[in-house]
């Protein structure tokens, strides 16, 4: 069994900030806009190094999206930055009309997504943003798992023509993907091979899936683990290949089961290759205040919950 090592916990938002800083040095068309959360989004270095390409719009997220859409007409590549709740729910009309419908090359970068925002509570813990964004025609949706992958994704989307939603988080989490990885939009990453069950995870749940796979291995269950960083477009080929081999699947995400990764996988399997599936996700509920660890435990978004789901789905084969 392949072992993965946490090289030192880092927050994924710092991966975004460092990726943006690197982009600023090599691509003069990259501009950054922030809605009064420069420090939280780790955009300080870009602001310091490229003040003429940084725009602090204040607490005016709708205006930020409109400005970003306009900048693309002149050939700029705008990266907008604020919390996921404010990046999607608060400005959905502007994203739909000015970015998605118009096909503008805007990169909507959203930090503090999901329950792991923690103590700020339900008003800030958006758990429906993936669903909101993947339903928009032409919108690419990316949800990264660690610092290295977030940095690589930030750099990669600058070269991609079209609107992108890049989702990442607040807390320091395991950093285990390669520093020099080649991030390919729309391509799943096979982390662990196995023949008994497929575990498809995204975001912070990828590390939990790997921990679950180790526990299952000790019990004689060989899990195949797939990292889905791009939820739209989904890597249908990789998912179908794995599930045809294992015969069952568990999906894991820090998001509502309605509208998330699990739903996309269920749609694919129902039309291409029906198989038993269990979904690790929040169950049509809002979050609450607490530490990230407390919340992930209470809402069943951890390695232990994945192990239980695997046992359940294998029994259904």
Q: How many CB atoms lie within 10 A of CB 196?
A: 18
Domain 189-315: state its class.
alpha beta
CA distance 194 to 128: 31
168-227 pLDDT tens trace: 999 999 999 999 999 999 999 999 999 999 999 999 999 999 999 999 999 999 999 999
Measured CA to CA, the distance from residue 47 to residue 168 in angstroms comes to 20
- Averaged over 39-59, what is the pLDDT? 97
Question: Which fold does the domain 10-173 belong to in CATH?
Answer: Rossmann fold (3.40.50)
The pLDDT value recorded for residue 166 is 98
How many alpha carbons fall within 13 Å on the CB side of residue 265? 33
By CB atoms closer than 10 A (0-12, 13-18, 19+), residue 290 is middle
Q: Quick check: pTM over 0.75?
A: yes
* Structure-block tokens of residue 178: 């390669």
Q: Which of 22, 28, 61, 263 is catalytic?
A: 61
Tens-digit pLDDT profile for residues 254-278: 999 999 999 999 999 999 999 999 9
Note the pLDDT tens digit of each residue in 114-145: 999 998 889 999 999 999 999 999 999 999 99
Helix axes 147-157, 12-26, angle to 10 degrees: 40
Listed by start position, the domains of the chain span 10-173, 189-315
Average pLDDT of every residue of the chain: 97
Is 61 annotated in the active site?
A: yes
Query: Same fold for the domain at 10-173 and the one at 189-315?
Result: yes
């Amino acid at each position: 069994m392949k072992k993965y090592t946490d090289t030192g916990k880092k927050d994924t938002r710092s991966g975004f900030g460092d990726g943006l800083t690197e982009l600023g040095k090599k691509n003069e068309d990259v501009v950054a806009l922030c809605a009064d959360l420069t420090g939280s989004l780790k955009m300080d270095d870009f602001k310091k190094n490229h003040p003429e390409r940084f725009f602090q719009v204040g607490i005016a997220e709708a205006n930020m999206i409109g400005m970003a859409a306009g900048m693309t007409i002149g050939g700029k590549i705008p990266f907008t930055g604020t919390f996921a709740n404010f990046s999607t729910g608060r400005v959905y009309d502007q994203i739909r009309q000015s970015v998605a419908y118009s096909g503008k090359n805007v990169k909507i970068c959203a930090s503090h997504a999901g329950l792991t925002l923690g103590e700020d509570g339900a008003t800030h813990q958006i758990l429906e943003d993936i669903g909101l964004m993947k339903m928009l025609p032409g919108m690419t949706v990316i949800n990264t798992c660690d610092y290295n992958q977030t940095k690589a994704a930030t750099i990669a989307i600058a070269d991609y023509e079209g609107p992108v939603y890049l989702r990442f988080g607040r807390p320091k989490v395991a950093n285990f993907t390669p520093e020099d990885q080649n991030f390919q939009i729309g391509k799943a990453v096979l982390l662990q091979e196995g023949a008994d069950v497929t575990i498809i995870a995204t975001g912070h749940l990828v590390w939990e899936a790997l921990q679950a796979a180790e526990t299952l291995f000790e019990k004689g269950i060989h899990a195949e683990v797939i990292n889905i960083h791009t939820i739209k477009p989904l890597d249908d080929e990789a998912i179908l290949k794995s599930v045809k081999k294992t015969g069952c699947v568990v999906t894991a995400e820090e998001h509502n089961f309605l509208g998330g990764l699990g739903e996309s996988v269920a749609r694919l399997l129902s039309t291409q290759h029906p198989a038993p599936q269990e979904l690790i996700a929040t169950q049509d509920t809002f979050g609450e205040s607490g530490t990230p660890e407390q919340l992930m435990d209470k809402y069943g978004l951890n390695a232990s919950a994945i192990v239980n789901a695997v046992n359940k789905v294998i029994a259904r084969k």
